[in-house]
Amino acid sequence: MTLVGAALAALATTWVLYGQVLPFSGTVGFVVAAYVVFMLFYAGLTALTRPWAVVVDRLMTTIVVAAPAIVGLALADMILTTVLKGLEVLVHPNFYTHDMSGVRPTDPYDMGGILHAIVGTLIEVAISVSIALPLGVIAAVYMSEVGGRGARVVRTVVEAMTALPSIVAGLFIYSVLIIRLHMQPSGLAASLALAVMGLPIMARASDVVLRVVPGGLREASYALGAGRWQTVWRVVLPTARPGLATALILGIARMVGETSPLLLTSGATNFMNTNPLHNPMTSLPLYVFTAVKSGEPTFETRGYAAATVLLFLVLILFLLARFVAKQRSPR
Amino acid sequence: MAAEPTQALAVVPEPGRATPPNTVRPLADRLEGGVAPVPRRIVARHSRQDRVFLEGVRAVGLLVLVIVGSIGLFLGLQAKPTLSHYGWRFFTESRWLPSQDIIGIRAVLVGTVEVAACALVIAFPLAFFTALFITDWAPARLRAALIRAVDLMAAVPSIVFGLWVLFYIQPHAAEIAHWLSKYFGWIPIFKVHTDVDYPIWNQSPGYAAYAGSAFIASIAVAAMVFPMATSVMREVFGEAPAGEKEAALALGATRWAMVRTVVIPFGRSGVIGGTMLALGRALGETISVLLIINQAFQVKVNVLESGTSTISALIATNYAEATPAQLSALLTCGFVLFCMTLLVNTVAAQVVKRSRSGQGTEL
């Protein structure tokens, strides 16, 4: 009752003050002002009948509820605007089946597409994951299951390198492979940059998951006469499987969306290129970036459509992670 | 003196294995010297399978160490010629004019810190209250969904946030920036060097003074780091002892009073640690910043004014035309950035670790 009354009073007062009396304008200002006025009314009305502690409690509750509401609205707004802006391109099936070769940025939307970028992203991420994932998981096994002084050193260094900004990983690969070794900008260079960035992240995430496997399970396994390898393979890894899968898929999702290392290493192209060893290979985030930087309105819209596809790719990975995490290990 | 006998009796355990309890003698017994109890020797006989496994895993672990460590080493080595060439001027010079051999990172350093700090100012309250909402206000059924939503947000590519802020948030943010500079322009950080009373400020040319500022870039960065800060804070808030919470409520505390006296003090280190982890991420954020800012190499404290630069944006714009010497300078920038994030992350990890009880879970 108090809540509704305060809300109504706040809206009315703000409307009068804001639009009619004070020389302000703009939606942001209106919402902020309405919120402040609402808090005042709510506090005042509560204070009429309740003790001070309740007033404070209710005020804090409005703040605590407002924070996730703002974030939720922002997230929904972001997804909606991106999808809506890209919609006029997304409805053309050629957007998914063509590349941009021979298509000018100003051409209509029924020409050209982002197949080359989708394929590029998939190839680059596949290569980098096939490098970073096994190395990361095995390094995590070393850190948490084998132990010893060496493992502590590895853990320290890996934890330190999770701080490596992705652009620096890209710059590293750029200056070593492309400048020193005279490699072309290519899909492989981009994959290596992603792998270098993702390896510490994956090793760290797997290590955290393996460490919470209960020690009692390991001891039980040893007590039954199992060796180190059998314990890791038959007990530790199956127990940690759902958590491990979730951590790794989230790591992959982060690699899919990473742009800055690709900017330095892969080179941009309009053509379909399925060979990671030769010639530049573009990818979805890079396509979005070039499209937006071009300043050409129609090309920008294509960028939004590509961003939508990228969002869906990440969403699919995320749902996959949820699905895997839900499954229990077989025994 | 006492150290010597203990040294002589020190039990040498196998690396990685705990000494069995029966070799541990009472302290007094060991210090008395004289009789040296012979520690039990532990010999681990691994089967061939285990030996292959252990050696293989160790080899891969060392490989990872070499790969990962070589990056840090490479950056450090590359930084040396630049630092010896420019000396301290590298940190005090704000211009970036490679053609005239004038290179310095003061402006980008300030810009990096400004963007990250603004992002934290925006993200911290949102993350803090969202984490509290998830642990103490949300109904149990909503809680899991909210946690999942925050995780999903962590996976959203930064370029998507950059796009959104660039085209949809910028006009609204410029409105806020205009208002702040109009009424609080006397505070240096809110000052914008333009005519704030200009009536059609939000059309060009007046608008240009507000677009592409550190403040607007920091909105995208805040969206990037929010999920990370929230999930760390949510975890520690969730670990607050239920007994104490119930005790507070039983004593007649309101929900906020309970949170203020029990949950927040319990989770303080998580709050600090989560914020610092977010800061580490914010410092390195590249693509959304690059998309939004108008690059300008000058030290400015007024975050609302157009034109700034960060280390990562500097690298992303200048790598392509760089000569070897400039590339070394860019690598030095990268090294400085890495050192900053490393420092922040290490402190954060220490702080977070203090809030956790044990390393593993026992069954």
Which residue, chain included where needed, has tokens 């009880």?
B357
Q: Is the dihedral of CA A30, B136, B121, B293 positive or negative?
A: negative
Contact B46 A227 (CB under 8 A): yes
* CB contacts, 8 Å: B152 with chain A: 315, 318
Which residue, among B118, B96, B97, B117, has the nearest Cα to B106 in the 3D structure? Answer: B96
CA dihedral A237, A239, A245, A251 (to 10 degrees): -70
Q: Is B183 on the interface with A (CB under 8 A)?
A: no
pLDDT attached to residue A330: 47
Contact A81 B164 (CB under 8 A): yes
Contact A71 B53 (CB under 8 A): no
Assess whether pLDDT exceeds 90 at residue B54: no
Which residue, among A195, A169, A207, A212, has the nearest Cα to A255 in the 3D structure? Answer: A195
B175 and A26 Cβ atoms separated by less than 8 Å: yes
Mean pLDDT of B213-232: 89
Tokens read off for B278: 């977010």
The model's pLDDT over B257-281, given as tens digits with 9 standing for 90+, comes to 999 888 888 888 888 888 888 888 8
Residues 6+ apart with CB under 8 A from A312: none
Range of lowest pLDDT (B84-93, B165-174, B323-332):
B84-93
ipTM of the complex: 0.83
At residue B302, the 3 state secondary structure works out as: coil
CA B281 to chain centre: 4
- What span, in angstroms and rounded, lies between the C-alpha atoms of A272 and A176? 26
Angle, helices A187-211 vs B48-86, to 10°: value is 120
To the nearest whole Å, the CA of B53 is away from the closest chain A CA by 6
- What span, in angstroms and rounded, lies between the C-alpha atoms of B302 and B196? 14
To the nearest whole Å, the CA of A135 is away from the closest chain B CA by 7
**pLDDT confidence of B123, banded at 50, 70, 90?**
very high
- What span, in angstroms and rounded, lies between the C-alpha atoms of A35 and A39? 6
Q: Which residue of B has its CA nearest to A196?
A: B68
pLDDT attached to residue A22: 57
Partner residue opposite B345 with nearest CB, options A141, A145, A163: A163
pLDDT attached to residue B120: 92
To the nearest whole Å, the CA of A45 is away from the closest chain B CA by 18
At residue A68, the 3 state secondary structure works out as: helix
Q: Which domains does chain A have, with CATH numbers?
A: 2-90 (no CATH), 115-326 (1.10.3720.10)
pLDDT in tens, chain A (331 residues): 667 777 777 777 776 666 655 555 566 777 777 777 777 878 877 778 888 888 888 888 888 888 889 899 988 988 898 888 888 888 877 777 777 776 776 677 777 778 888 888 888 888 999 999 999 999 999 988 887 888 888 888 888 888 888 888 888 888 888 888 887 788 888 898 899 888 888 888 888 888 888 888 888 998 998 888 888 888 888 888 878 887 888 788 888 888 888 888 887 777 777 777 777 888 888 888 888 888 778 888 888 888 999 888 888 888 887 787 776 544 4
pLDDT attached to residue B36: 63
Range of lowest pLDDT (B9-13, B24-28, B99-103):
B9-13
Residue of A58, A63, A259, A265 to mutate when probing chain B, most B C-beta within 10 A: A259
CA dihedral A307, A308, A313, A315 (to 10 degrees): 120
The rounded mean pLDDT for chain B is 78
pLDDT attached to residue B207: 60
Number of alpha carbons in the 13 Å side-chain half-sphere of residue A218 = 18
Percent of chain B past pLDDT 70, that is, above it, reads: 83
A9 burial class (0-12, 13-18, 19+ CB within 10 angstroms)?
A: middle
B165 and B223 Cβ atoms separated by less than 8 Å: yes
Residue of B46, B71, B122 to mutate when probing chain A, most A C-beta within 10 A: B71
- How many CB atoms lie under 10 A from the CB of residue B58? 17
To the nearest whole Å, the CA of A38 is away from the closest chain B CA by 19
Structural domain boundaries of chain B?
A: 1-44, 102-355
Range of lowest pLDDT (B18-32, B162-176, B180-194, B318-332):
B18-32
Q: Is the dihedral of CA B340, B341, B345, B348 positive or negative?
A: positive
Assess whether pLDDT exceeds 80 at residue B204: no
The model's pLDDT over B320-348, given as tens digits with 9 standing for 90+, comes to 777 777 888 888 888 888 888 888 888 88
Contact A171 B349 (CB under 8 A): no
Assess whether pLDDT exceeds 90 at residue B98: no
**pLDDT confidence of B16, banded at 50, 70, 90?**
very low
How far apart, in Å, do the first and last CA atoms of chain A sit? 54
Residues 264-293 of B with CB under 8 A from A: 280, 283-287, 290-291
Tokens read off for A74: 């922002």
Contact B130 A136 (CB under 8 A): no
φ, ψ at B271 (rounded to 5°):
-65, -45
Number of alpha carbons in the 13 Å side-chain half-sphere of residue B248 = 16
Q: Is B182 on the interface with A (CB under 8 A)?
A: no
Contact A138 B172 (CB under 8 A): no
pLDDT attached to residue B205: 47
- Regarding the domain delimited by B102-355, which CATH topology (the fold level of the hierarchy) does it fall under? MetI-like fold (1.10.3720)
pLDDT attached to residue B251: 92
pLDDT attached to residue B6: 37
pLDDT attached to residue A61: 87
- Residue B11, sorted as left (phi over 0), alpha (psi -120 to 50) or beta, turns out to be beta
pLDDT attached to residue B28: 53
Assess whether pLDDT exceeds 90 at residue B124: yes
